[in-house]
Structure 1
């Protein structure tokens, strides 16, 4: 009887072991099904990003996934703080975060965080799961004053305490008005590498330090049929596009004003930046109807809306468009950053042009100084500044990649991405000359 009971005991144990193995197998299978492209928990239903984070050149080795939506990374901030010997706690629908003697309160009701007693809007809502709080990478670096360096080859983003000293000069509203527009900014072409985007952020820091509001002419979708490229930021999730959206966020945070520069800045077999997009003449072979213009402008606005990029103006690619397509732009924007023209940009008005239409005043902001055609054109631009006619705005546009040779990035022994930016660069010389001539930089919506 004792032997039978012993066998009965062993049978029960074996059944329990088999049952446990079955449950684990099923659980493992369920986990595997949800750990591919999509990961679903109680509060998160986003794509899992195949990237890793470093902090001060050391791997964080996170256990929780990083997610991506609309090419913005969401990081598990509570786990990161625990790895970095920081603290986090949830109190009264707020999350308290502590790191490097910096205390942050994330207010989930107001979608903002409080730093130094000042409320700052989050770029995206914080997400609270059962055991972790997620925020965007951009919000995290802003909270704790960090600097990023992106390595696409290694799928790694390195975070560092910011050692760069960027003191913002006070913005004066005295003096003759000047405006600067950084032209043809797109996720492609001259801005296809992580180094190029890092240099754009360095240029942004310089303008911010000089108290210069700057405008970004953004092309939402980069297309090159001959190279088989169609880079739609809403569809193509990859590290370069996330770096580009991060850079747009960075621009706005440093006082940049973003506008739409068409949708693709091309048509047919032409390449973005080089091609024109709207109808100027029968030779263009571009549709001249209103519906075509509506579709393009609607697509550009939808991209901006979904990415939460506020666009304050529109600029027609190469200023090439005829009326009635131009009318569609006027319906959607109060500021059109280009000279007013009724013949597709052939005849241009160099003064601010006001149009009373649709129950409001639409303003065309010209660029009387035109643009800087490479480094060798710097002297010519300075001469144009010195001889600009009285009553004209010192407004010009500039392709920032011209600055890249004057920006040298290096790695310190601590891994930190240091840089040197020559004060003899074209942009430095032009900004200095405008200030010397008593011009003050304005935002486009300051122009009266």
Structure 2
């Protein structure tokens, strides 16, 4: 006679053990046992956060230092009250215009005390030291976005670095091929320390490329105004950057490494300005399209597009090379339309620790793979048909399972901004019903702390 109990033990106990083992392996791979990310002892804290030891498998093959330098003519400048200045020596490197340090310092009332490989400038109240790749102003140090160039032993400085060092605002006019350096009253916000148990929020501008809306000089200025506003409010944010804009049907292929013009110089000036105002930049594909599709509309990674290993790696590496050549630091990757397959995601994870997208649509919070990659979703959605309700409602929610992370397209915001350059100053108004202003108010009303994705790592404190 059979022993029923023994049979049950022989069959079901191994089955239960196998099921538990499989479940554990799956869950531990994605670390679903982790606590939510919180703020404890005034720093980000979670079992989820990885050590800061990630190494990319790829070293960029194009570098900023190796980019060619050329002379540019016919650029007109307006520097504060001095208008229509012609014949200023201008150099071009990596879509940045440079003018002599001695020229701009004299225009701004500084005494030039240059020494070997070091620019020393001084006026009645300010002392500035500029080295090859950094500057110190009244004991505050920063990095140059363009680094110094030398021609005939004369140091040249980029327009982006002039803006940052001398607290000016550059407005480009593509029709007149001119640049106005205007007075700016954008000041650094008062630092507010993180508070224990404060919710975190992540803010990203999407589909940002030198095409469509950003081909218009006034819109480029408006994007910089957005950055000024967010900076003044102490809001950290991100840009999902498409490095190469293509629209084959319209015969457009704007490769920033090939097409040297004032429009592209203005665009890189935007990226520099965003970085200086609290933005982090990541790759949103390379062209965000394939075939005859238009950038930001088409696909670039999916089960049918660039689906093999070689093609996937080429898309990623071309973006990295472009960023390196243009000296644009990148901290995350985001696949176009989140259409990448698990196979493509695994390859992306070899290049980037932070993948600013959900692993799949069911995931609404940060999670970590066994390899240490963090996938950061945007479950609060985006501004759609002019409404930011899904974002503001999500920011007001107390659901710990849903990350307060969202995105929207900056081209939406330009209709809410007006500006002029009266009195040689940038003057702007931002309408009260603008999506950005509405979202910032909600962030503050709900006591959220905005962070960058690369802050999601273990603190040394």
The bucket for the TM-score relative to the shorter chain is 0.7 to 0.9
Q: Given the alignment of the two structures, is residue 338 of structure 1 paired with residue 357 of structure 2, yes or no?
A: yes
Residue 54 of structure 1 aligns to a residue whose secondary structure is: strand
Do the aligned partners of residues 324 and 100 (structure 1) sit closer, same or farther apart at CA in structure 2, a change above 3 Å counting?
Answer: farther
Q: Given the alignment of the two structures, is residue 195 of structure 1 paired with residue 218 of structure 2, yes or no?
A: yes
Greater length-normalized contact order (CA 8 Å, ≥ 6 residues apart):
2
Q: 1:46-97, CA deviations, whole angstroms, 9 ceiling, x for partnerless residues?
A: 2425412111242364545201111011111213334555421222542222
Deviation at 1:287, TM superposition (A): 3.6
Partners of 2:301 and 2:339 within 8 A in 1: yes
Of 367, 370, 374, 2:385 maps to 374
Q: Given the alignment of the two structures, is residue 298 of structure 1 paired with residue 317 of structure 2, yes or no?
A: yes
- 1:220 & 1:61 partners in 2: Cα distance? 32
Do the aligned partners of residues 352 and 312 (structure 1) sit closer, same or farther apart at CA in structure 2, a change above 3 Å counting?
Answer: same
Do the aligned partners of residues 383 and 81 (structure 1) sit closer, same or farther apart at CA in structure 2, a change above 3 Å counting?
Answer: closer
Partners of 1:337 and 1:365 within 8 A in 2: yes
Do the aligned partners of residues 212 and 122 (structure 1) sit closer, same or farther apart at CA in structure 2, a change above 3 Å counting?
Answer: same
Residue 272 of structure 1 aligns to a residue whose secondary structure is: coil
- What's the C-alpha RMSD, in Å, of the aligned pairs? 2.1
With 226-235 and 166-175 compared, the bigger mean Cα shift is at 166-175
TM-score where L is the length of structure 2: 0.79
Q: Given the alignment of the two structures, is residue 76 of structure 1 paired with residue 100 of structure 2, yes or no?
A: yes
Superposition pairs of residues 278-357 of structure 1, within 5 angstroms: 278-281=301-304, 286-341=305-360, 347-357=361-371
TM-score where L is the length of structure 1: 0.81
Of 383, 393, 399, 1:383 maps to 393
- 1:440 & 1:312 partners in 2: Cα distance? 19
Q: Given the alignment of the two structures, is residue 160 of structure 1 paired with residue 182 of structure 2, yes or no?
A: yes
Aligned match of 1:447: 456
Partners of 2:69 and 2:92 within 8 A in 1: no
Aligned match of 2:435: 426
Of 143, 149, 152, 1:127 maps to 149
With 261-270 and 200-209 compared, the bigger mean Cα shift is at 200-209
Superposition pairs of residues 38-437 of structure 1, within 5 angstroms: 45-59=69-83, 61=85, 63-83=87-107, 85-98=109-122, 101-108=125-132, 111-130=133-152, 132-162=154-184, 164-174=185-195, 175-281=198-304, 286-341=305-360, 347-357=361-371, 361-375=372-386, 377-387=387-397, 389-412=399-422, 414-437=423-446
- 1:219 & 1:418 partners in 2: Cα distance? 29
Residue 182 of structure 1 aligns to a residue whose secondary structure is: strand
Partners of 2:300 and 2:306 within 8 A in 1: no
Q: Name the larger-Rg structure.
A: 1
Partners of 1:81 and 1:99 within 8 A in 2: no
Do the aligned partners of residues 62 and 153 (structure 1) sit closer, same or farther apart at CA in structure 2, a change above 3 Å counting?
Answer: closer
With 113-122 and 217-226 compared, the bigger mean Cα shift is at 113-122
What is the count of residue pairs matched by the alignment? 388
What residue ranges of structure 1 are gaps of 5+ in the alignment? 1-43, 342-346
- 1:209 & 1:181 partners in 2: Cα distance? 17
- 1:60 & 1:103 partners in 2: Cα distance? 28
